Chain A
Amino acid sequence: KQEVTQIPAALSVPEGENLVLNCSFTDSAIYNLQWFRQDPGKGLTSLLLIQSSQREQTSGRLNASLDKSSGRSTLYIAASQPGDSATYLCAALNGANNLFFGTGTRLTVIP
């Protein structure tokens, strides 16, 4: 069964720093890898989706990469802002259309 791990569990950075969030998965037979943002007590918002044939996706200050062979994905956030403070979740989609989630990284950007 797919297991998804995210490190670190929590991260605090000063405003303006660039940062990297890590995600690893045990089964490389994935259809896509997705990154979501969750604000406290709220639902999830999709940030980026990387298909299995792709290596990276970019949206504004966010860049996500995927290395299927090593079972890793990273989310790079450039020039962090206090509004980026949230929990970031990665999820891997398998062929049975099941989405397996990591436990998330809670990011705090300090003004």
Chain B
Amino acid sequence: DGGITQSPKYLFRKEGQNVTLSCEQNLNHDAMYWYRQDPGQGLRLIYYSQIVNDFQKGDIAEGYSVSREKKESFPLTVTSAQKNPTAFYLCASSIFGSQEQETQYFGPGTRLLVL
């Protein structure tokens, strides 16, 4: 059963703490993405990766870090430098990341809350 999984579904962060959100895909897609969704706003791109061991910053990368050591995995770390981390985080993937006709496939999301 192919798809994208994100864990955990809910995550709580204490002040000054780094937390890591997991994203795994078994679709054999090359490209993976992280978005942040806030109420009343569209999705905003945090980071994306088109190939293993390579990634680029999106519009709102400050306070976040990523790694892409394996094709199927693209974890996102929310660092203590991110002062307003409360949001819904969505991971996505696409086949090549540069094709006019391809769409992105999304995971179920992780809701991050600050204690």
Name the A residues within 8 Å of B108 (CB-CB).
42-43
State which residues 47-88 of B face A: CB under 8 Å: 48, 50, 58, 88
State whether A44 touches B106 (Cβ < 8 A).
yes
State whether B103 touches A34 (Cβ < 8 A).
yes
Distance, CA A26 to CA B43, complexed state (A): 17
State which residues 87-111 of A face B: CB under 8 Å: 89, 91, 93, 97-104
Known interface pairs A4-B42, A101-B42. Does A49 touch B106 (Cβ–Cβ under 8 Å)? Answer: no
- Assess whether A31 is interfacial by the CB under 8 Å rule: yes
| CB-based nearest A residue for B58 | A98
Distance, CA A42 to CA B109, complexed state (A): 6
| CB-based nearest A residue for B108 | A43
Distance, CA A100 to CA B60, complexed state (A): 13
Number of B interface residues at 8 Å Cβ cutoff, please give it. 30
Measured as residues with beta carbon below 8 angstroms from the partner, the interface class of chain A is 20 to 34
- Assess whether A28 is interfacial by the CB under 8 Å rule: no
Known interface pairs A98-B45, A101-B42. Does A32 touch B101 (Cβ–Cβ under 8 Å)? Answer: yes
- Assess whether B100 is interfacial by the CB under 8 Å rule: yes
Name the A residues within 8 Å of B104 (CB-CB).
34, 44, 46, 99
28 inter-chain pairs at a CB distance below 8 angstroms, sorted by A residue, are A4-B42, A31-B100, A32-B101, A34-B104, A36-B106, A41-B88, A41-B111, A42-B108, A43-B6, A43-B106, A43-B107, A43-B109, A44-B92, A44-B106, A45-B106, A46-B105, A49-B103, A52-B100, A89-B42, A89-B43, A97-B98, A98-B45, A99-B33, A99-B45, A101-B35, A101-B44, A103-B40, A103-B41
Q: Give 5 A-B pairs besides A32-B100, A97-B50 with Cβ atoms closer than 8 angstroms.
A: A34-B103, A43-B108, A45-B106, A98-B45, A103-B41
**Chain B residues at the A interface, C-beta cutoff of 8 Å:** 4, 6, 31, 33, 35, 40-45, 48, 50, 58, 88, 90, 92, 97-98, 100-109, 111
The 4 closest A-B pairs by CB, nearest first: A101-B42, A43-B106, A44-B106, A101-B43
**Chain A residues at the B interface, C-beta cutoff of 8 Å:** 4, 31-32, 34, 36, 41-46, 49, 51-52, 89, 91, 93, 97-104
